[in-house]
Structure 1
Amino acid sequence: MTDSTDAKLHATALPAYLRERHAFWHATRFSENRAWYQRLAHTGQHPRAMVISCCDSRVDSVQMFGAEPGDLFVLRNVASLVPPHSPDLSFHGTSAAVEYAVSVLKVAHLVVVGHSNCGGISACHDMCAGSAPQLTDGSSYIGRWIDILRPGFERVSARIKEPKARVAALEKEGVIVSIRNLISFPFVAEAMREGELTLHGCWIDIGSGELHVLDHATGEFV
C-alpha cells in the first residue's frame, strides 16, 4: 500500500476563467475596499446573521440580501437541511458550523433559506416515494443526507397526493424541518431562551425572485 504522504495530488491548475475573474475582482472590488478587508483581516469577523442555504448555483443568498464582506456567516449544503442534534454521528459539517456561529460568533439571527425547483428536495421526494431506489443504498451520500427530510415527506404526503404539488410543498416543509432540528441543539435553545438568538425561515422563487417568509404563528409562508 502506498503511504498517503507519497500519493500524488491530482488537482490541476485553476481554470483560466476563474483566474481571470479573480484578477478582475482584485483590481476592482477588493482594491476599492482594501481598508475594509484589512480591518476584517485584523479584527476578525462579527456577522450579525448566519444563513443556511442550498448549494444550488442559482441561489446566492449573499447577493440576494445585499450583503457585504463580514455581514453574513454562510453555510451551503444540499437542500438547506439541518440535521437533528446527534453528537454520536461521525461527521458534523453543518452542525459544527451552527455551533460556531451561535456559540463563538454569537450571531443574532439564524436564517434557513429554501428555494423553488430544488434538486435535493425533488430527490428526497422520489426516494421516499419509492421511485429512486438507488438513493436508499447505504453507500449513497445524497440519500443518507436527504433522509433528514423523511419526516417532512410523510407529513406532506398525508395531505397532498399530486406529486408535483407535493414536491413544491416539501420545499417549504424542508425549511420547517430544519428550524425544528435547530431547536434540538442545546446551545441554540439556550441562546433563544436568553433572547440572544432568533430563528427565521424563508423560501425564494428562482424565476420571480419573490421571497416568502415563514410566519411562526401560523406555520405558513407569506
Structure 2
Amino acid sequence: MQTLRPLPQYLVTRYHGWKATAYAENSAWYSRLATDGQRPRGMVISCCDSRVHVTSIFGADSGEFFIHRNIANLVPPYAPDGLQHGTSAAVEYAVQALKVAHLIVMGHTHCGGVAGCHAMCSGRAPELEEKTSFVGRWMDILRPGYDRVKDLPEDQQIPALEREAVLMSIENLMTFPFVRTAVETGQMSLHGLVHDIGQGTLMQAADGGKAWMAV
C-alpha cells in the first residue's frame, strides 16, 4: 500500500506563490533566522481549530511567536512521570531555552473540544469516556472546569467552559516550577485570551480571572 503521495496541486501552487513573493522580498530576514536561530518574544498556546489564525490576528512575522496548538488550548498540570507530554515539553522549551517574555493562552468561541468535554461530562458523549479515546482523555484536563460551570443556565455553560479552558491552563502553568519562578521574578508574564471567531474580537482575563475585558 502506498502511504505517501504528492502534495495537492493547490498547496504546491500556493507554496510557489509564497516563495516568489513573501520569501523573495524578505530573503535576508529568513537567512538571518536560519543562521542566528529564533528569539521569539512570546509563546502562544492556542487551539488546533483551523479557524484560529494566531499570526494573522496579531500581524506577526516569522520568528516572533513560538506557537503550540492542541485540542482546546489546554495545558496539563506539571507531571514529570516519564510519559510523553508534548504540551509540557513545548512550555519547558519556551520558558527555559527561549526565555520568552510573554506566555499567552488563547481560547476561542465555538470550540469543538470544549463542546465535546461538556457533552462528555454531562453524560451525552459516552464514546469520549472510553479509555481508547485520545480526545476524551485529553479533555479530562478540563473536567474541573466543567464542575465550575455545570450549575449555570444551560445556554451559558459552554461559553463559560471556553473561558475555563483558558483559566485552568493558566492555573496549571503555575504548577510548573520554572514557570512559577519566571512569573514571580518578573521575567515572564502570563496572559489569558478568548477570541470570538465570528466577531473578530479578543477578550482578556482580568482581576485574576474573575473578569473579562475587551482588548
TM band (smaller chain): over 0.9
Q: Where does residue 120 of structure 1 map in the other structure?
A: 113
Q: Where does residue 68 of structure 2 map in the other structure?
A: 75
- Superposed counterparts of 1:1-222, under 5 Å: 10-88=3-81, 90-158=83-151, 160-162=152-154, 164-217=155-208, 219-222=210-213
Q: Using the TM superposition, give the Cα deviation of residue 13 of structure 1 relative to its aligned residue in structure 2, in angstroms.
A: 1.0
**TM norm structure 1:** 0.93
Per-residue displacement from partner, 1:103-131 (whole Å, max 9, x unpaired)? 00000000000000000000000000000
Paired residue secondary structure (1:149):
helix
Q: What one-letter code is carried by the residue in structure 1 that aligns with 2:134?
A: Y
Q: Using the TM superposition, give the Cα deviation of residue 217 of structure 1 relative to its aligned residue in structure 2, in angstroms.
A: 3.8
- Relative to structure 1, the CA distance from residue 115 to residue 86 in structure 2 (aligned partners, 3 Å threshold; closer, same or farther) is same
**TM norm structure 2:** 0.96
Q: Using the TM superposition, give the Cα deviation of residue 145 of structure 1 relative to its aligned residue in structure 2, in angstroms.
A: 0.3
Residues in 1 aligned to 2:167 and 2:62: alpha-carbon distance in whole angstroms: 28
Residues in 2 aligned to 1:103 and 1:181: alpha-carbon distance in whole angstroms: 17
Q: What one-letter code is carried by the residue in structure 2 that aligns with 1:93?
A: G
Residues in 2 aligned to 1:91 and 1:146: alpha-carbon distance in whole angstroms: 16
Residues in 1 aligned to 2:39 and 2:187: alpha-carbon distance in whole angstroms: 15
Paired residue secondary structure (2:96):
helix
Q: Using the TM superposition, give the Cα deviation of residue 21 of structure 1 relative to its aligned residue in structure 2, in angstroms.
A: 0.7
Residues in 2 aligned to 1:216 and 1:68: alpha-carbon distance in whole angstroms: 31
Residues in 2 aligned to 1:91 and 1:126: alpha-carbon distance in whole angstroms: 27
Q: What one-letter code is carried by the residue in structure 1 that aligns with 2:111?
A: C
Per-residue displacement from partner, 1:11-67 (whole Å, max 9, x unpaired)? 211111111111100000000000000000000000000000000011101110110
Q: Which runs of 5+ in 2 are unaligned?
A: none
Q: How many residues align?
A: 213
Paired residue secondary structure (2:76):
coil
Q: Which portions of structure 1, spanning 4 or more consecutive aligned residues, are displaced by more than 3 angstroms?
A: none
- Relative to structure 1, the CA distance from residue 149 to residue 30 in structure 2 (aligned partners, 3 Å threshold; closer, same or farther) is same
Residues in 2 aligned to 1:33 and 1:129: alpha-carbon distance in whole angstroms: 51
- Relative to structure 1, the CA distance from residue 27 to residue 120 in structure 2 (aligned partners, 3 Å threshold; closer, same or farther) is same
Identity %, equivalent residues: 52
